[in-house]
Homo-oligomer: A and B are copies of this chain.
Amino acid sequence: MGKGQDGHTELGLKQEDLLAMHRFMLLARYCDERQWALNRQGKAPFVVPVSGHEAAQVGSIWAFERGKDVFCPYYRDMALCLAAGFTPKDVFAGLFGKFDDPSSGGRQMPAHWGSRKLNIITGSSPISTQILHAAGIAYSKKYKHEDSVVGTWFGEGGTSEGDWHGAMNFAGIHKLPLVFFCENNQYAISVHESKQVAGRVYKRAEGYGMPGFEGDGNDVLESYRLAKDAVDRARAGEGPSLIELRTYRFYSHTSDDDDRTYRSREEVEEWRKKDPILRFEKYLTDADVLDDKGLESMREEAKSDVADGVKQANESEFPDPSTGALHVFQEAQ
């Protein structure tokens, strides 16, 4: 945890922050477990897991001001989107492709997050395109003299596309209020980091004239701390930062993948021991924020919220086929 048992106070976090952060991590974890179960039952053809990344996501978004700042996440960021305002029902409406999926009304695959209301910019499948949108939005904020900060998230695989390079370069040149977060889980589907990234991601920051940091993405407070410093710098007009949060995904890349072809069971086990949620639970009890009973009741509450979300999403409808032709362009008024 790096800062001892009252690390969070030093970071300016209150108990209610800790509880809320923990709640979103739990919600994400249980949504994930439920979506896999639904997948096995044949009720969800496609699943993108988040487990393992919860701390990196919740910690980093916690540094932003919701309602004012803007987020360009990627498909892995379920915990982040929950913390930004998605409900479990929203997640499952997307999973099932129902008409009230807030991201796309059932048009996109699950985990293609987006919501104008929540300042989560619509995402697509092609990797890393959102990073340039983030740069454009950050430029616009600066141009309009709004003091919003933009955050964008991507995997270490995402750093390979030209879009990443362009956005880093542009943000560096214009000292944009933008924070780049790399959730480095060491694999892009099956491709190991060593075949993906020459050198190290965070070390590239200097070449773009911005500071780069590496942190433990399984530590929600460390993720928060690095993010907070970067967001503060950005808001103060001191420009962009790159933060690399090392983590691991517990499951296969998606339900279409089988990670046994490329990751040893030992390696997966090793990382499961570093479970960011277990780790934060230990912090919470050590810091006397919660006792075992408190932890347990938070778990129960989160589970039940997730179950409710599944139920509501289940009861909702598929989009009407007659709507398929709508919204290619603005409809004639």
Contacts and interface: CB of A to CB of B under 8 A. Distances in A.
Contacts of A209: 198-200
Contact of A204 (B164, B207, B210): B207
A236 interface: no
A161 B162 contact: yes
Contacts of A162: 161-163, 165-166
Interface string A153-172: 00000001111111011111
Contacts of A172: 198-199
A173 interface: yes
A173 B196 CA distance: 7
Nearest to A173: B198
A206 interface: yes
A166 B160 contact: yes
Contacts of A206: 199, 203, 206-207
B198 A171 contact: yes
Query: Helix, strand, loop or mixed for chain A's interface?
Result: helix
A208 interface: yes
Which one of A196, A199, A206 has the greatest number of beta carbons of chain B within 10 Å?
A199
A13 interface: no
A172 B195 CA distance: 10
A200 B207 contact: yes
A197 interface: yes
Contacts of A210: 198-199
B207 A203 contact: yes
B161 A198 contact: no
Contact of A207 (B161, B163, B195, B199): B199
Interface of A: 160-166, 168-173, 194-200, 203-210
29 contacts: A160-B165, A160-B166, A160-B169, A161-B162, A162-B163, A162-B165, A162-B166, A164-B165, A168-B198, A169-B197, A170-B198, A171-B198, A172-B199, A173-B194, A173-B195, A173-B196, A198-B208, A198-B209, A198-B210, A199-B206, A199-B207, A199-B208, A200-B207, A200-B209, A203-B206, A203-B207, A206-B206, A206-B207, A207-B207
